[in-house]
Amino acid sequence: MQFFTEIYREKLPDYNITGIVFEHNETKAKVVKILSDDQNKSFSISFKTPPTNNKGIPHIIEHSTLCGSDHYTTKEPFADLLRGSLQNFLNAFTFPDHTMYPIATTNEVDYQNLMKVYLDAVFLPRVRNDIYPFYQEGRRWEKSEDGELKFNGIVYNEMKEEETNPVTLASRVISQKLYNGTYIYEAGGIPKDIETLTYDEFLKFYEEHYHPSNSLTVLYSPLSLIDNELTILNEYFNGKGFKTPSHVTDKDTNISGTFETVQYPIDSEESDEMKDVFVYAWKINNCDPELQFALDIIQQLMVTVEGAPLNEKLKELGIAKNVTSRFESDFKSPYFAVVAKNADPSKLDQFKQVVNEELQKIVKDGLVYAMLCAYAHTHDDPDLFRSLRVNWIITKVREGLNNHYLEDIVQKCFIENNKHIIVRCVPTKGLTEKWEKESQERHAEMSKDFDEKTIKEIENTCAELKRKQQAEDTPEQIATIPHLRLSDIDKKGRDFSLEEVKNSIKTYRKVDVTNGIVYFKYFFDLSDLTLEQLRVADFLASTIKSFNTKQHNYLTLGALIDINFGKLTFNIETHVDSHLGTTTEDINHVKPYFLISGKVLNSYITDGIKILAEILNDIQFDIKILQKKLSEFIVRSEGIIKNSSFSPMSTRIKSYLSKQGVIEEYLNGITSYLEDVKLRTNFEKEGLSFLHSLEEIYHTIFSTNRCTLFYCSEENIKEDVLKQLTSLQEFLHGKEMGKVQEYPNPIVKNEALQVPIKVNYVSKGFNYASMGITFNGAFKALMEIIEKEYLWNKVRVEGGAYGCWLSYSYNGNAIFASYRDPHLYETLTTYDKVVDYLENMKFTQEEIENYLIGIFADIDAPMTVSGFFNSCCNSYLNNTLGISQVIREQLFQVTLERLKEQSSIIINGLKKNTVCTISPQEAIKKQSGVFSEKVNVFEKV
């Protein structure tokens, strides 16, 4: 290839692949080619983008480059590609010092198409000549209905949400105190700084950094594609000349050992007891891959794994209820932090002292050897690039086991490292309100000199933006986006069937290429348990590895589990009969199971079964451990409800739609959290009897007649594996099944859950099975179109929410949901207005085909062995085997008329007015009449 020179080539024997580095002659742009015969191909291009302020420029560029470019001229090629291609990965990321644009697909034509679209996006984006993508993704003034001037913008809203998380706030302090240079700035942006960003600054940053000389391209694909790939790259690199690459600076400060404080918001009605967060952070200079890998292990052994010494000590002394760690390796010199959540504010000094003492102890006594073996054994990281260099480091670490290798690192990186600080995050009431007031004042100040003309301009800009957002792409624009045809798609889908095996336990298996790993699942039927008993069983599942057994304490037991199993988990799963045409009666028969699932090497199964037998028979239940786990669960749930509110919202709304949802909410939802809090409050009275129920369930549920075994292994060992897995039977001493229980019916609600957050999670749903509807290909296509077309435009692009979905499943649920949404009532109205959209829906067959391609991209995305095995088990347990092939065939037949026929399902479903939102108090208050029920989740009890 005349435009590129090969400068380096290396065989990577661990993985039997070769890496080649090319340099573009003119611009010196580097291109790494990894020769691979993987069916999946991937491409990425990255630019160094070190920020020099907190205005979020790298992040806003990342978003706005994807809003159209010179050759791909629709409003949002990114969204078009999500539906018109077989891509299985299409994204963009802003890191602290660089920005990356990766894609992946299994189709060769698609791969080259996507590569071109992405290169066009980064080198020829519309936003360099047109300010509107900047307004949309970055920031713009907007006049609200009551005449107030404020800011809106997708990145602006996205970063607002980050501000309530104490760990994010602490990490800002850490980078400002320990770092000098690039990393003191937040590449994502801080809202009040984003407000001051100008389009000129934005363009200047773009011009400076988005140059081939400042880029790195990675191609993971077969050798046969190399000429095409380099030709495509040259089209974009050619003629740009050489430019000195951007410079990332990373220097030390002279701050060392200080205590810093930062406030974070909690709800005014929430208790602030034990809500501090302490963060002890060390900056690690000169961190090479070897040190990084070693620190990763140290993090596991010191903090993360069950029973890790530092973690246990801090909890034991009542300093904190929950201890985690953070290794921020996106920085050139990373920082390592011990994070103590739900900490006691009076014990900050003790926190520092204990951490230091524990570190000294680790250096003196050494880290637990058994755990280290376990770690090395289970470390099968799917990240290709890390794997490439993992083997020699593992060898080195193992050789170093007896000569203090890790302990010396602890000594050097922590004990002797004076680049450290401690940040205390103080829970503060009224802070969100204060911030809101400050931003109102700030906006008033910023806009005080706006004359009528300026305000008119703002209104015009918003109106014009809205017009552009609503304008349909022209056929010429649409024609610029490359897409595959239905004829490129295979008519036959995957086969999820299992083979039923004659055995003394009911058994099903799948034979697959698994690299010698065996995947297994033991399902124990719990249909004779009451709802309350299921909750106890769920508790059992989450605590079972935390108790001692007659033979071992839980630490050793944990190490034995890790040594023998690649993974071993316990949880409760529910299944319902979801065959095509399933009825209310079918989905009312919910089957709950206690599930033991894991992966193990064939040669380890016999030892593994012994451990499992011990866990299922010899646990010594202990009230103290129960109490400790209970408070851990409460802390974890609180974190999830506040920081990942989407999941509790989805669980909640499903409880209005089906019995299965009622059970899931009772076990994993906000109800379960509130039950946990109740138990904690009354623990003196009720703790012991709860422990007894735990014990009773434990002695009941593990029996052969409740058990169904599923496993997946290689062909040549399948019989041997069967024998070994069946041997667990000798150790199953539970009781026969009793009478099958009836579970409570769902109750339709429209409910608002108040939580101290800044944004909304808004959902509305219905169950089509209970309406007598049979799932079909056209219905599936219609829902996908509503999600990717209507919701995307209305809720995300126009509304400013970070995400929005219309999700559905064979059990009948169909749910509209928004994520990090600035609006609540407007979004509900948008959901209802889908009716208008459906009535006026017009597509050409080609447009429909495009959507179908996107649907097949999801259906045919590459699956891991364990993911595939899961789907096989689920299709058996949910009685859905064969549905996907029927739906697949129906998808090829979708026409506008068939889509229209399905509209009434959605129109009628929405009439049921089943709504759930998780929102801040201020948002709910605005039109509280909409909701028949309001719950303040963190009300003091």
Interface ranges with Zn ion (CB under 5 A): 158
Asked if residues 298 and 373 have their Cβ atoms less than 8 Å apart, the reply is no
Q: Which is nearer to Zn ion, 91 or 176 (CB)?
A: 91
Q: Which is nearer to Zn ion, 158 or 787 (CB)?
A: 158
Q: Which is nearer to Zn ion, 158 or 638 (CB)?
A: 158
Residue 59 CB, shortest distance to Zn ion, in Å, is 6
Residue 159 CB, shortest distance to Zn ion, in Å, is 8
Residue 340 CB, shortest distance to Zn ion, in Å, is 29
Residue 804 CB, shortest distance to Zn ion, in Å, is 15
Which two tokens mark 124? 């020829």
Q: Which is nearer to Zn ion, 60 or 555 (CB)?
A: 60
Distance of CA 582 to the CA centre of its chain: 31
Residue 75 CB, shortest distance to Zn ion, in Å, is 18
Q: Which is nearer to Zn ion, 158 or 849 (CB)?
A: 158
Which two tokens mark 342? 């739900």
- Report d(CA 511, CA 865) in Å as an integer: 10
Residue 275 CB, shortest distance to Zn ion, in Å, is 29
Q: Which is nearer to Zn ion, 197 or 568 (CB)?
A: 197
- Report d(CA 248, CA 251) in Å as an integer: 10
Going by C-beta distance under 8 Å and a sequence separation of 6 or more, which residues neighbour residue 174?
279, 281, 335, 337, 421, 423
Q: Which is nearer to Zn ion, 77 or 669 (CB)?
A: 77
- Report d(CA 90, CA 788) in Å as an integer: 15
Q: Which is nearer to Zn ion, 56 or 592 (CB)?
A: 56
Give the angle subtended at the CA of 152 by the CAs of 148 and 156, to the nearest 5°. 135
What are the distances in angstroms from CA 270 to CA 144, 267, 429, 830, 934?
31, 5, 8, 32, 16
Distance of CA 406 to the CA centre of its chain: 31
Range 186-200 burial, b when 16+ CB lie within 10 A, else e? bbbbbbbbbbebeee
Residue 186 CB, shortest distance to Zn ion, in Å, is 12
Residue 769 pairs in a beta bridge with: none
Which two tokens mark 531? 């709802």
Residue 22 pairs in a beta bridge with: 6, 31
Residue 123 CB, shortest distance to Zn ion, in Å, is 21
Among 835, 843, 840, smallest CA distance to 896 is for 843
Give the angle subtended at the CA of 345 by the CAs of 343 and 348, to the nearest 5°. 85
Residue 60 CB, shortest distance to Zn ion, in Å, is 9
320: DSSP letter:
E
- Residue with tokens 């801090």, as numbered in its chain: 314
Q: Which is nearer to Zn ion, 156 or 539 (CB)?
A: 156
Asked if residues 542 and 633 have their Cβ atoms less than 8 Å apart, the reply is yes
- Calculate Rg over the CA atoms of the chain: 29
Residue 448 CB, shortest distance to Zn ion, in Å, is 31
Backbone angles phi, psi at 149, to 5 degrees: -95, 125
Residue 49 CB, shortest distance to Zn ion, in Å, is 14
Which two tokens mark 203? 């363009």
Which two tokens mark 34? 């990894």
User: Would you list the DSSP string of 555-566?
Assistant: HHHHHHHHHH-S
- Report d(CA 824, CA 176) in Å as an integer: 35
Residue nearest to Zn ion (CB): 158
Q: Residue 451: enclosing H or E segment and its boundaries?
A: none
Q: Which is nearer to Zn ion, 153 or 920 (CB)?
A: 153
Q: Classify residue 254 by burial, with Cβ atoms within 10 Å: 0-12, 13-18, 19+.
A: exposed
Q: Which is nearer to Zn ion, 47 or 524 (CB)?
A: 47
Residue 84 CB, shortest distance to Zn ion, in Å, is 23
Q: Which is nearer to Zn ion, 158 or 751 (CB)?
A: 158
Q: Which is nearer to Zn ion, 469 or 693 (CB)?
A: 469
- Residue with tokens 């952070």, as numbered in its chain: 281
What are the distances in angstroms from CA 355 to CA 35, 309, 319, 339?
46, 10, 11, 11
Going by C-beta distance under 8 Å and a sequence separation of 6 or more, which residues neighbour residue 275?
266, 342, 427
Q: What is the 3-state secondary structure (H, E, C) of 841-859?
A: CCCCHHHHHHHHHHHHHHH
Going by C-beta distance under 8 Å and a sequence separation of 6 or more, which residues neighbour residue 207?
none
Q: Which is nearer to Zn ion, 324 or 469 (CB)?
A: 469
Residue 239 CB, shortest distance to Zn ion, in Å, is 31
Q: Which is nearer to Zn ion, 400 or 803 (CB)?
A: 803
Residue 190 CB, shortest distance to Zn ion, in Å, is 14
Residue 201 CB, shortest distance to Zn ion, in Å, is 19
Q: Is 820 left (phi over 0), alpha (psi -120 to 50) or beta?
A: left
- Residue with tokens 């004829």, as numbered in its chain: 487
Residue 56 CB, shortest distance to Zn ion, in Å, is 9
Residue 3 CB, shortest distance to Zn ion, in Å, is 34
Q: Which is nearer to Zn ion, 796 or 823 (CB)?
A: 796
Helix extents (H) in 249-347: 289-299, 309-316
Q: Which is nearer to Zn ion, 120 or 158 (CB)?
A: 158
Q: Residue 303: enclosing H or E segment and its boundaries?
A: none
Residue 800 CB, shortest distance to Zn ion, in Å, is 12
Q: Which is nearer to Zn ion, 67 or 308 (CB)?
A: 67
- Report d(CA 855, CA 808) in Å as an integer: 13
- Report d(CA 620, CA 614) in Å as an integer: 11
Q: What is the 3-state secondary structure (H, E, C) of 899-935?
A: HHHHHHHHHHHHHCCEEEEEECHHHHHCCHHHCCEEE
